[in-house]
Amino acid sequence: MSSLMREMGARALRLGIPLSVQLDLTYRCNERCVHCYLDHDDHGEMTTAEILDLLGQMAEAGVFFLTLSGGEIFMRQDFFEILEHARKLMFCVKLKSNAVMVRAAGAERLRDLAIDSVQVSIYSHRAEVHDGITKLPGSLKRSLEGARLLVGKGVKVIFANVLMRQNLADYQGVRALASEMGAEFRIDPTITPMMDGDRSILSLGIDQSALREVFRNEDLVGNVEEFCAPPKGPMTAEDALDTVPCSAGHTACYVSPYGDVYPCVQFPLPSGSVRRTRFVDIWRHSPELNEVRSISLGDLQGCSQCVHQDGCTRCPGLAYMEGNMRGPSIQDCEKSFARTGVPSVNLQSKKSSTPGLVQIRLIPTAARVTSPAYS
């Protein structure tokens, strides 16, 4: 991460600014991915007017990074009206889509609106595997056509490759496809439990030995020795008390298509509704968000004494879905173990074999421009 980006994040944390928001516009989708954690029925999505008003509220609250996701965003007829308003308000907009519905005219509009990027889910370079996961025949072909149109128009495209047992052998193929097309590539072995708490889809995740292999692929992680270095913790109790576990609820939050606010898309702790309360008031005064903010590393059961504190990517949302937001996220303990070979404190006391969480990506460079400071 660039120093300027870190500085902005630190300032937002200090001032309590919601720098990043993911807004899901719909849970409706044209695919039925086997690992999806959403219910795709429409239970009363926000109207166009409600969303445009919400965008204004979020801009006033200081939101800079806005991720529009779903469901499939292009299922909303008013998608471009929403996007145009978001860009008029000068959000840095990132989109998540399967790109199946992207056509040349749409790709051009996205380019003209100067969005940051479109993340497209590609599970395999082989149609039988990708389509088998999405349950939409022809979806790989159509997603790649859409992605190609976007890249051709100069829009930054990122292939997101969720690793599962079904497509474990294919990530190199997807990576090669991304490279050939001029797209970025991200790999993510995290399977998220269903929003209703059903954890059955976690069985789709890859096992420890596969995860260990992924973490030792220098094409993916760079310097393997550094990435898989033994942990150096635990930190002092004083430092642990000052360390924030994650940006969820601190500088980031999530809003569902129904206007419900949560600390993160992976942290389904209901914290208010923008249909009843202004966004900024939920952000500042929600007891749930304030409780999330009150938790430091020093409060976490097991983690406060764990050697993995520095390199751990513990997700408080996954911990919450495991039953305790102050408890462990065993998926992340598993990941730390696969990476370093050293079991975490919580793993030693709680055996599990679920997969971990990682996102590997390139961070753009940053620069600073100033003019003379007059007194």
What is the contact surface with another protein in residues (CB under 8 A)? 2, 4-5, 7-8, 11-12, 14-15, 17, 19, 59-64, 87-93, 114, 116-117, 156, 280, 364-375
Residue written as tokens 């097991």?
A: 302
- Kindly tell me which of 53 and 291 has the beta carbon lying closer to another protein: 53
Query: Least CB distance from residue 117 to another protein, whole Å?
Result: 8
- Hey, is 188 helix, strand or coil? strand
- Kindly tell me which of 77 and 365 has the beta carbon lying closer to another protein: 365
Per the rule left: phi > 0, alpha: psi between -120 and 50, beta: everything else, 166 is alpha
User: In what helix (H) or strand (E) does residue 105 lie, and over which residues does it extend?
Assistant: helix 104-112
Query: Least CB distance from residue 21 to another protein, whole Å?
Result: 12
- Kindly tell me which of 123 and 283 has the beta carbon lying closer to another protein: 283
- Kindly tell me which of 229 and 366 has the beta carbon lying closer to another protein: 366
- Kindly tell me which of 200 and 375 has the beta carbon lying closer to another protein: 375
Pairing of strands 184-188, 252-255: unpaired
- Kindly tell me which of 192 and 251 has the beta carbon lying closer to another protein: 251
CA distance 266 to 280: 21
Residue written as tokens 């976007």?
A: 150
Query: Least CB distance from residue 159 to another protein, whole Å?
Result: 17
Provide long-range contacts, Cβ within 8 A and 24+ apart, for 266-273: 266/192, 266/315, 266/317, 266/318, 266/321, 267/292, 267/315, 267/316, 267/317, 267/320, 267/325, 268/195, 268/317, 268/320, 268/321, 269/317, 269/320, 269/325
- Kindly tell me which of 64 and 258 has the beta carbon lying closer to another protein: 64
Query: Least CB distance from residue 7 to another protein, whole Å?
Result: 8
- Kindly tell me which of 49 and 367 has the beta carbon lying closer to another protein: 367
Query: Least CB distance from residue 250 to another protein, whole Å?
Result: 14
Query: Least CB distance from residue 11 to another protein, whole Å?
Result: 5
Joined together, the tokens standing for residue 255 give 């809003």
Query: Least CB distance from residue 106 to another protein, whole Å?
Result: 18
Residue written as tokens 């079991």?
A: 343
Angle of helix 139-152 relative to helix 171-181, nearest 10 degrees? 30
CA distance 31 to 319: 28
Query: Least CB distance from residue 278 to another protein, whole Å?
Result: 10
Hey, what amino acid is at 352?
A: S
Q: CA end-to-end span of the chain, whole Å?
A: 33
- Kindly tell me which of 63 and 164 has the beta carbon lying closer to another protein: 63
Q: How far, in Å, are 45, 75, 109 from residue 26 at the CA level?
A: 7, 8, 21
Query: Least CB distance from residue 157 to another protein, whole Å?
Result: 13
Residue 144 burial by Cβ neighbours in a 10 Å radius (0-12, 13-18, 19+): buried
**Read out DSSP for 9-41?**
HHHHHHHT---EEEEE--S--S---TT-----S
